[in-house]
Structure 1
């Protein structure tokens, strides 16, 4: 009997970078000591990937949709629904939701002094979310509000009630020291006008609750920024994987959204670092696996994630495992070059363990491993950029002995070497096709 083909996609968030003067004009990935990733590249096929399309500095949500085979220009309805579902709030058709930040607002000037009231907010976030959950909107008594803590300084906010639409703007100015934005209609409809008025009132109500909260009294006394504002970002409604007809946000086309299993034939799991990624996986019908110690930040337990991926992929239930790692992206956003290198090296150790353990499986399964990213987050910029990301597809046995494989000329896993690979440069929408072709021919 032929072995069962299984796929592990390891996505290192924010992996790509640019030449950095302090590193002799090399990237963190070029400088990092990554012998296992290099072995994987040497035994496999390599290339550069634009997660959505060349020249687009995309977000993680649209990148993941493209990589999994969902055209974001067709299916994307805002990241708020993903964050909210991942945080544990149920969504039904008609709800709208936001990926939201706890921020510090100077009410007198209307300036958002800091879009992140505090990066390390785990001890405060749940309590403040409890205070906001269920707030009443005096002008909109038919509508209800639910708030749930997500990770770090983030929370999910859901609004439920009649005549809501996601065709509105958010309140996030996107940079510190800029005025809080007033929510406005994105299209000329009564529903958009009503919804934007509701959201502006919600923003004011959140401020009133937070500014009076004892936690913020204590923070001000300690000389810390109060978390007195919720930035309502990325309004969206949920897509459904059960072939329920949906209305597209951009052109109102009627859509049917297939699950990963229907789209690709894989029973899949996702190990997610953040609520937004978990919510996206949920909408695609993936099983979300909780992993103790997998916090999605600088303190995450890489080994625990790797252990969970191996355990579940070697079992009988799943054909496709998606292991997402976040810490490298945080280091890029924080412009911390040393941390980016440090985490890349720790991830490489995890990859070595995964490669060796999958290679020791009993022979009933044949494994393919992909290592890539959703976007570049250069430490020089502190934000997402349009540079393509390195991509490698290989098998554990080829990493351990490249002579078994049909690799290309690449010998090191990094941006410049990847450009020499046999896969060339391609878009994320081709990833699953490349994977399935490799699994059947190699």
Structure 2
């Protein structure tokens, strides 16, 4: 029987001990009987998913844990998300992620404008583009919730008379990296065209300030979208397909365009799950059911759940614990049961966050993440629950994240 491989990514689940959890991390505080059952038969360890000198973001870290060296293949976050939205891109384009954010009293209050709805976000994006306008050659595309895409197409038809824009020297900051900090200290800088983006941010504030959507949101106690915030710029990457490298057909279940974009570039299918979201309102049972239903059709299935990360960005330890428990009950448990009952011992499962997301700081952290691997030819050395501390105490530590995939797929084979 062919081997089945499953990767489960509880995004940002790793953390440091918290006073509000009596000195425990959310992983330690959460009730996770299914993950602990896997830990009894599997191995724990740590892996470095953020290469030295690179930003600790889901784009870098997820690319790394999916087996692709970000140092070699990463060309920016935004092109990955744009591909997932089906936006037609040229290799010469520069692509930006644009968040709808909330800035209060000059400080970055929320990177998601209070998790603004996709309907509201699309209206704001389209009306801004229609009534305020964009620099020549710029196109603005609505995405999901607060996440949107800006594309600079000026290099497609560049000439001596009409040169395009080179954004290689531009420096931008993810808004989730600066919670509570002054916005003006983190505006785009560097290169010839940073001023265009600074103007874009300023004009968005004027447009959004009195928009009826924001007035309504404030009336009902929700955060307004005060600014468009561009970041994560880059160009289209060229990545070899996963099937060519490992001879396996893969698929991704995720609510996040970033993971879907990586899947697009490595040749995986994206499987739609109605009711799946990036937050704790995610339909966890549906995620688990669709994953179980997809096992027969693919050699490798990756299931990504964003909720722990978003809870940590909101400094919400209780919701982070609840998200981890829901993943254990509705995703890990059913998948493990299906693997064990359908495929005898011809399966392997890998569970790990892409990075730490700390409730205390509301930021990502490049600490090597814990992982748990179980299944065929994986031997348990010490039977202990899956936690950051136990993974750190194990004897398996992988210094280059992109090498974990090969270890997961090929280690111990005859």
Give the TM-score band, short-chain normalised: 0.7 to 0.9
Find 1:378's aligned residue among 348, 354, 358. 358
Q: Deviations over 1:113-145 (max 9, x none)?
A: 65443224344112212223567757x54x141
**Conserved? CA contact 1:370–1:392, under 8 Å:** yes
Partner of 1:170: 172
Find 2:140's aligned residue among 146, 151, 155. 146
Q: How does 1:391-430 map to 2 (within 5 A)?
A: 391-395=371-375, 406-430=379-403
Partner of 2:291: 309
**Conserved? CA contact 2:398–2:404, under 8 Å:** no
Partner of 2:317: 337
Single out whichever of 304-313 and 176-185 deviates more from structure 2. 176-185
**Conserved? CA contact 2:96–2:149, under 8 Å:** yes
Find 2:260's aligned residue among 278, 286, 290. 278
Find 1:124's aligned residue among 98, 120, 123. 120
- State whether structure 2 residue 214 is matched by structure 1 residue 216: yes
- State whether structure 2 residue 406 is matched by structure 1 residue 433: yes
Shift of 1:234: 1.2
- State whether structure 2 residue 186 is matched by structure 1 residue 185: no
Shift of 1:415: 1.6
Question: How many residues of Structure 1 are paired with residues of Structure 2 in the alignment?
Answer: 401
Q: Distance in 2 between matches of 1:110 and 1:411?
A: 47
Q: Distance in 2 between matches of 1:55 and 1:280?
A: 21
TM-score normalised by structure 2 residue count: 0.86
Single out whichever of 169-178 and 381-390 deviates more from structure 2. 169-178
Find 2:21's aligned residue among 23, 26, 31. 23
Distance 1:72 1:134, change over 3 A: farther
Partner of 1:288: 270
Partner of 1:159: 152
Q: How does 1:1-400 map to 2 (within 5 A)?
A: 3-53=1-51, 58-104=56-102, 115-133=111-129, 140-141=135-136, 143-151=137-145, 153-162=146-155, 163-167=164-168, 168-170=170-172, 174-180=178-184, 181-186=186-191, 193=192, 195-211=193-209, 213-219=211-217, 225-240=223-238, 257-315=239-297, 318-350=298-330, 351-361=332-342, 366-395=346-375
Secondary structure of 1:78's aligned partner: coil
Partner of 1:246: none
TM-score normalised by structure 1 residue count: 0.81
Secondary structure of 1:129's aligned partner: helix
Q: Distance in 1 between matches of 2:166 and 2:101?
A: 25
**Conserved? CA contact 1:369–1:393, under 8 Å:** yes
Secondary structure of 2:67's aligned partner: coil
Secondary structure of 1:343's aligned partner: helix
**Conserved? CA contact 1:30–1:414, under 8 Å:** yes
Shift of 1:362: 5.8
Q: Distance in 2 between matches of 1:95 and 1:130?
A: 21
Secondary structure of 1:124's aligned partner: helix
Secondary structure of 1:419's aligned partner: helix
Distance 1:6 1:19, change over 3 A: same
Distance 1:24 1:105, change over 3 A: closer
Distance 1:137 1:201, change over 3 A: farther
Specify every segment of 5 or more residues in structure 1 that has no aligned partner in the other structure, as ranges. 187-192, 241-256, 399-403
Distance 1:305 1:218, change over 3 A: closer
Distance 1:285 1:416, change over 3 A: same
